[in-house]
Amino acid sequence: MVEDHDASEIDLSALFEAAAERDPQLSSFCIVCSDEGVHARGKYSAFWFDSVTDLTLFLRRVVPVMAEERYDEIVSEVEQILASVDEQGMLEEHVLHLADLLGGALHFRWAGTFEDLCEGPSSVACDLRSQFRAGDPDQETWDDEDEPDDDRAVDDPEREIGVGEVDAFAVFLMELRN
């Protein structure tokens, strides 16, 4: 059951800022929002959590405030989604369903782990890797021991993040909020 939340008690900006400031290599579970949401900054914003449980606790605090007067209409559906997340983990269908329910207040686009962003095939992961590599075209990204694990060419900006890029990619993801 979702607790009754008073918007005056919750500082949304502080909650989002705290989630955005976490280190992706330490708090590896992520939800990505697009710039259409009021708390997203830049094309994408990434918010980091230690676990799926931490993410659902975060959502249980912010969704009632984000939904405002519509929350009474969607409370049971939101709780059903979050209960499913608690059982199954965050799936793309959960992300998109929550985005639809919030009606534009926050545009969830993707959820997964830091590893998923480094290696995964999703369009959001590929786009973020491409944006990362576009930031410094002269960056030396591959060394002799750092061959791509996927079938993409070394010069493909969407290829998996190599061992030598992991730290810089984590910093890039943390800076999305700026």
The tokens for 178 are 């700026």
Looking at residue 147, its pLDDT comes to 43
Determine the average pLDDT of the residues in 169-178.
83
Q: Are 105 and 78 spatial neighbours (Cβ–Cβ below 8 Å)?
A: no
Report yes or no on 2 lying in a domain.
no
C-alpha 37/C-alpha 105 separation (Å) is: 6
Closest CA to 152 of 136, 167, 130: 130
Domain ranges, residue 42: 7-175
Looking at residue 9, its pLDDT comes to 56
Listed in sequence order, the residues at least 6 apart from 170 whose beta carbon sits closer than 8 Å to its beta carbon are: 23, 24, 25, 114
Query: pLDDT, tens digit, for every residue of 146-170?
Result: 444 444 456 688 899 999 999 999 9
Give the count of domains, the chain: 1
C-alpha 154/C-alpha 156 separation (Å) is: 6
Looking at residue 158, its pLDDT comes to 87
Query: pLDDT, tens digit, for every residue of 122-136?
Result: 988 999 999 999 874
The tokens for 46 are 């990434």
CA angle 93, 166, 120 (to 5 degrees): 30
Query: How high is the mean pLDDT of the chain?
Result: 78
Report yes or no on 73 lying in a domain.
yes
Query: pLDDT, tens digit, for every residue of 70-120?
Result: 888 888 888 899 888 877 777 778 888 888 888 777 778 888 899 999 999
Report yes or no on 56 lying in a domain.
yes
C-alpha 39/C-alpha 177 separation (Å) is: 9
Report yes or no on 1 lying in a domain.
no
